[in-house]
Amino acid sequence: MLRLAVTTRAETYERMQEPLADRSIAVEHVPTVERTLTSETDLGEFDVGFVFPPRLAEGGVADALLGVPWVNGREDVLRSRYKGETIARLSRAGLSTPETVVVSDPVDETQLRAAFDRFDPPVVVKPNSATRGVGVTTAGDLDSFLGICDYLDLVHDYRATGDCSFLVQEYLPGARDYRAMVVGGECVGAVERRVRDDPETDPEITGSGPPEAAVEQRGPTGRWKHNVHRGAVARGVDLPTELREMAEAAAAALDIPWLGVDLLVTDGRAVVNETNARPTIDTTKKYRPGFWDEIATLVRQTA
């Protein structure tokens, strides 16, 4: 029986225990945060870890104590964590991405105006390293944009702030939002994320109605964030070949074996918006048959 260390105790940990146990992989939680650690701390004997711990400082200590290879190690997580770097790497690899300006504070107003003028408003403003849609907003005019930047200046002025950068990106109105999952270089399934609508009419809540009747994408004056942790719903979908290949190409460009790839698709364009090297595993009905076999194979190959 292979022993797999998982450092977070959330949906993914709960969902992987039974199916991997059926494949002779014992999944065990190893807490690395909100505790004390010394060089003598016994974290147990494991063969492999599933994704480097989320807090890199404590994760480095746990990594040294465990001494295991990781499905997505520290460098994998870092390449996906900082959105500006991800966009730059994907763009250099020839993948379509949203037009993006990385702002490293402090910059003067002339540079901020120039960044805003590159786009047709509204623009998307987002932190460089936050997840789950935290801090992402839009600005429809220059004054609003500069006001948002003023608030970011106040945050970044605090000397303990580690990341003093943010992104300015084009807004893609009406885009469909997909999360594709790539395991060992292959796209194994995807979900479409939509804003939750009225429970009486939203087919993603009632379980009835055709997909085209689902809630419409909203503009910047309504709800437009599609993060599941913000209340959006995710429906399993079969992506067309070109989108699966785009997700696989993104994982290859970043050289990350276990990756969530976020795609935004409009009538005439598809872009890789973000990636996540710590993606949550959804219910398996949203992935292709053999999903857990592929996860088990990746874990064994890593070990």
Token duo for residue 67: 């001494």
CATH 3.30.470.20 boundaries in the chain: 173-277
Residue 181: which of 271, 265, 279, 266 has the closest Cα?
A: 279
CATH 3.30.1490.20 boundaries in the chain: 99-170
Whether 254 and 275 have beta carbons less than 8 Å apart is answered as yes
Residue 213, pLDDT > 80, answer no
- At residue 150, the pLDDT reads 93
User: What confidence category does residue 129 fall into, taking pLDDT thresholds of 50, 70 and 90?
Assistant: confident
φ and ψ of 250, to 5 deg: -65, -45
User: What confidence category does residue 140 fall into, taking pLDDT thresholds of 50, 70 and 90?
Assistant: very high
How far apart are the C-alpha atoms of 289 and 268, rounded to whole Å? 31
Minimum mean pLDDT range among 126-130, 145-149, 299-303: 126-130
Q: pLDDT tens, 217-228?
A: 444 445 555 555
Residue 296, pLDDT > 90, answer yes
Whether 76 and 278 have beta carbons less than 8 Å apart is answered as no
For the segment 164-171, the average pLDDT, to the nearest whole number, is: 94
CATH 3.40.1260.10 at 99-170, yes or no: no
Beta bridge partners of 102: 167
CATH topology of domain 2-77: Rossmann fold (3.40.50)
DSSP string covering 124-144, please?
EEEESS--TTTT-EEESSHHH
Token duo for residue 2: 């292979």
CATH architecture of 173-277: 2-Layer Sandwich (3.30)
Distances (CA, A) of 212 to 194, 204, 208, 238, 282: 12, 11, 11, 15, 22
Residue 239, pLDDT > 90, answer yes
- At residue 207, the pLDDT reads 39
- At residue 58, the pLDDT reads 94
Token duo for residue 225: 């964030």
Minimum mean pLDDT range among 46-50, 110-114, 126-130, 179-183: 126-130
For the segment 46-51, the average pLDDT, to the nearest whole number, is: 98
Token duo for residue 222: 């309504």
CATH 3.40.50.20 boundaries in the chain: 2-77
Whether 95 and 102 have beta carbons less than 8 Å apart is answered as no
Distances (CA, A) of 269 to 25, 173, 273, 303: 41, 12, 12, 39
For the segment 48-60, the average pLDDT, to the nearest whole number, is: 94
The total of other beta-carbon atoms located within 10 Å of residue 193's CB is: 19
Residue 280: which of 245, 239, 228, 233 has the closest Cα?
A: 228
Q: What is the mean pLDDT of the chain?
A: 87
φ and ψ of 269, to 5 deg: -160, 145
Which residue shows structure tokens 């379509």? 96
Parallel, antiparallel or unpaired: strands 48-50 and 2-6: parallel
Beta bridge partners of 186: 183
Higher pLDDT among residues 219 and 132, named by residue: 132
Q: pLDDT tens, 245-258?
A: 999 999 999 999 99
Higher pLDDT among residues 146 and 231, named by residue: 146
Q: pLDDT tens, 182-212?
A: 999 999 999 998 876 644 434 443 333 333 3
Q: pLDDT tens, 72-86?
A: 999 999 999 999 999
By the 10 Å C-beta count (0-12 exposed, 13-18 middle, 19+ buried), 120 is classed as exposed
- At residue 42, the pLDDT reads 96
Residue 235, pLDDT > 80, answer yes
- At residue 199, the pLDDT reads 43
For the segment 163-170, the average pLDDT, to the nearest whole number, is: 92
For the segment 50-71, the average pLDDT, to the nearest whole number, is: 95
